[in-house]
Structure 1
Amino acid sequence: MTRRNPAWLPAEDWTLLTEMPVIARHLVEKLRSAEQEILFENYIFQAGNWPEEVFDILCAKARDGVLVHLRLDAVGSRGFPERWIQKLRAAGGTFEWYHRLGWRGWEKSLRRSHRRIVLIDQQWLAVGGFALADAWLRGDPGQLPYRDVLFACRGPIVPLVRRLFLKNRPLSHKELRAAPSEAPDRHADAIVRLLAGSPPDRFTIRRRYLAAFRSARESLWIATPYFNPDPIVLSALYGAVRRGVDVRVLLAGRVTDHPLLRLGIQAYYQKLLRHRVRVYEYQESFLHAKYILVDGQWGAVGSANLDFLSLWFNRELNLEVKGLLPLASLRTLFLREFARSREISAEHWQRRSWWRRPLEWLLAQVDRRIQARALGSRRY
């Protein structure tokens, strides 16, 4: 059966933010402006100064009669205080855990909601990789705030994302009627398309990524903090290089939240470099942003990493982006981050410490076994 892609829609009043302090201020400002409804979903929401500021706004809005619904992943947000749940409910808001851990089996435990969604008054949408934790604003000692992105807009994409938010667990009370849609601005300088991954039924993000990688003719630039895609996705990257495409992967460098996981990611470097994929490690802080640019003509921004969990198991939400100005912004962002990164050359990687080689080999075997068990007999 032929799959139909969703329609491209104009993004009105769009913005692409790349500095976490600016992202935080923008979110706070928008939340304070809410008059009817706030739908909020995130993978990470932990106790801290900035998260508490956001949480207090949600409670205040709920007390004022605004419909507030907060959905958090039970694993990613395990640092969310239980007392906050009761406080939000007492204020009139609703709270929902996604997949609390239990005796649900290996595969179901892997399925997390990794999406970042903020919907306000059925009119404004924000997606990205940002999280509600002070580390994103503070950074590690001696480092700058985390590197992340937020793409926000108005327009006809908003009710589609709202429908996605409410799809599996519609609100049981005080739900508002859908706002009447206005005629879209056909002269908008940005157009977007919903790119949602909802395993185990839909693997839309992986399918669209493969189509974009296989269609690249000039450049294919990828920013992701976590990298361990399945073999077919890797083959698509290698195939692009053979066609003469400038393939670059921008990864987290020495500043990372998972040092052992970084070693596992570095186990891919030997093959990537042998296939002439250019590898960059960001140096100034932890790179947590996820975005892609193909031929300067197509972009994607959102929550999905280029790893097998995002592509096969997690609920993710990206937006595909086209348009001269937003794509120029993505290109400028990539060039700036490449300049702040260290490119890993094949010669440099050959000179790495002797002890890293057996450790990389071991981690590669572990990664291969985990993927084989997790993916099982799935057809790539």
Structure 2
Amino acid sequence: MQELEDLIPKPGALGFSGGVERARHEMQGPFLLPPGPDAFSFALYQSTGVGLVPGHSLELLENSAVFERMLADIRAARSSVHVLVYIWRPCELSDRVVEALVERARAGVACRVVVDPVGSEEIRGNRDFDQKVERVLTDAGVEVHYYRLLAGKVLGRLLGRSHQKLVIVDGRIGYTGGFGIWKVWEGDGMKPDEWRDTHLRVEGPEVRRMQLSFSRHWQESGGGLIPPSAFPEPEESGPCAAGFIDSAGKLGLTDAERMIRVVIGAARERIWIANAYFSPPNAILEQLEEKCRQGVEIRILGPGPCHDVPIMRASQRSTYERLLAAGVRIWEYQPSMMHSKTLLVDDWLSVVGSTNMDSLSLNKLKEGSLVIHDASFVRKLARCWAKDLRHSKEITLENGGRTNPWRRLARRATQLVGQDR
């Protein structure tokens, strides 16, 4: 009974802004979950409808290593290849992906592609994707669709994008992470024009849920129903337990925000967050502060001087002063844009996917992340952290951690973009 009581926050003791009365009517925390993977899985299921399912094999893939593995799987596909990306722009990497899809389509494999026009071309005012990618693919028999065209509906659709990154081969192999198909994802993340990113390859039952996410995008983009053969019966492939959280923007709390809150709530020893756009809502900042008070070690790794959205870096840095005061340690990655979206909790829990920890991703965009219970995978992710910290600068109150009017203004603006409650 006491463990269940721990799930209920005590607003008066936590100093919520807005007072105890407001806190009674809004989700807070959770600040402490009952211990263990089973309790966590039930909390995740209760919050998102998805629990942890056993039977997965996982590969952690950094930077451009994801494409060699992915292209090998695509070339070996027997029945279907499905690609969903936010950014796909013509380049040498694009040519390699196009070549692999064309070859499979001509061999009789059903190849389907969904791209987001905002990330890929439409908002940029050119049609390179049409001429250099779409036309080549469709001539070979690959079906290509755009997700939520902007024409005539800019105000209603500009923020309602799909930021997911999925590649599913034969309904049995899935990829997710931060990747797009563009030149910045080539290389090793050690140069300004080569982004640092983290991805994973997964086999096991949750690939079916990833396929479901693709099919829903496909339907909304005019692609119709996908045949049952693209949804083979789930097969166990390895020892890892996992759950894929597919989130969509809506009024109120999205599954992406619920997932992050529950993952943070599970921590008893450490929370390590690597995120490209770290400026979460105040409720998550309060949750991190409370975890510090509980004695949890919290580390945050974000982008440094190489950043593709300067206002987001300012918004990110506006959170530093309060977090540093609470005891959080913060680093900024120096060589290039740090684009990973990962969480590491204690020695058994991790998250990898497309979900940024900012108001836009948590409230407006379609996102997808895999939540993983596996100690060996956590160790691999921790080794990535150790390597990244060798190329990062620790931020303190004395060397850039204090806020200023520009940072506060940037945070208000970026929070307003995703505000819906």
TM over 0.5, yes or no?
A: yes
Q: Structure 1 residues 289-298 or 133-142, which shifts more? A: 133-142
Could you tell me which of 76, 79, 91 is aligned with 1:33? 76
Task: Determine the structure 1 residue equivalent to 2:32.
Answer: none
Alpha-carbon distance in structure 1 between the residues aligned to 2:109 and 2:367: 26
Task: Determine the structure 2 residue equivalent to 1:163.
Answer: 212
Could you tell me which of 113, 119, 122 is aligned with 2:168? 119
Look up the equivalent residue of 2:239 and give its one-letter code: D
Percent of residue pairs bearing the same amino acid type: 26
Alpha-carbon distance in structure 2 between the residues aligned to 1:234 and 1:174: 41
TM-aligned CA deviation for residue 237 of structure 1? 1.1
Task: Determine the structure 1 residue equivalent to 2:52.
Answer: 8
Q: Structure 1 residues 140-149 or 319-328, which shifts more? A: 140-149
Alpha carbons 2:359, 2:414 under 8 Å: kept: no
Task: Determine the structure 1 residue equivalent to 2:135.
Answer: 86
The structure-2 alpha-carbon separation of the partners of 1:140 and 1:337, relative to structure 1 and needing over 3 Å to count, comes to closer
Alpha-carbon distance in structure 2 between the residues aligned to 1:320 and 1:173: 28
TM-aligned CA deviation for residue 292 of structure 1? 0.1
Task: Determine the structure 2 residue equivalent to 1:194.
Answer: 244
Q: Deviations over 1:119-174 (max 9, x none)?
A: 00112111110111112215899547321112112121122211221135444478
Task: Determine the structure 2 residue equivalent to 1:208.
Answer: 259
The structure-2 alpha-carbon separation of the partners of 1:33 and 1:241, relative to structure 1 and needing over 3 Å to count, comes to same
Q: Structure 1 residues 201-210 or 58-67, which shifts more? A: 201-210
Alpha-carbon distance in structure 2 between the residues aligned to 1:31 and 1:86: 20
2:74 match: secondary structure = helix
The structure-2 alpha-carbon separation of the partners of 1:375 and 1:365, relative to structure 1 and needing over 3 Å to count, comes to closer
Look up the equivalent residue of 1:69 and give its one-letter code: R
What 5-or-longer segments of structure 1 have no aligned partner?
Answer: none
Kindly report which structure 2 residues correspond to 1:248-287, keeping only aligned pairs within 5 A, or say none. 248-287=299-338
Task: Determine the structure 2 residue equivalent to 1:100.
Answer: 149
2:118 match: secondary structure = coil
> Alignment length, in residue pairs?
367
Alpha carbons 2:177, 2:200 under 8 Å: kept: yes
Alpha carbons 2:190, 2:196 under 8 Å: kept: no
Alpha carbons 2:191, 2:336 under 8 Å: kept: no
Q: Deviations over 1:292-323 (max 9, x none)?
A: 01112211000001111111111111000111
Look up the equivalent residue of 2:50 and give its one-letter code: P
Alpha-carbon distance in structure 2 between the residues aligned to 1:310 and 1:237: 19
Alpha carbons 1:39, 1:70 under 8 Å: kept: yes
Alpha carbons 2:51, 2:243 under 8 Å: kept: yes
Task: Determine the structure 2 residue equivalent to 1:324.
Answer: 375
1:227 match: secondary structure = coil
Whether 1:18 aligns to 2:62 is yes
Could you tell me which of 304, 308, 311 is aligned with 2:355? 304
Using the size of structure 2 for normalisation, the TM-score is 0.80
Look up the equivalent residue of 1:10 and give its one-letter code: P
Kindly report which structure 2 residues correspond to 1:44-83, keeping only aligned pairs within 5 A, or say none. 44-78=87-121, 81-83=129-131
Using the size of structure 1 for normalisation, the TM-score is 0.88
Whether 1:359 aligns to 2:402 is no
Alpha carbons 2:245, 2:256 under 8 Å: kept: yes
TM-aligned CA deviation for residue 110 of structure 1? 0.8
RMSD: 2.5
The structure-2 alpha-carbon separation of the partners of 1:347 and 1:158, relative to structure 1 and needing over 3 Å to count, comes to same
TM-aligned CA deviation for residue 176 of structure 1? 5.1
TM-aligned CA deviation for residue 280 of structure 1? 0.6
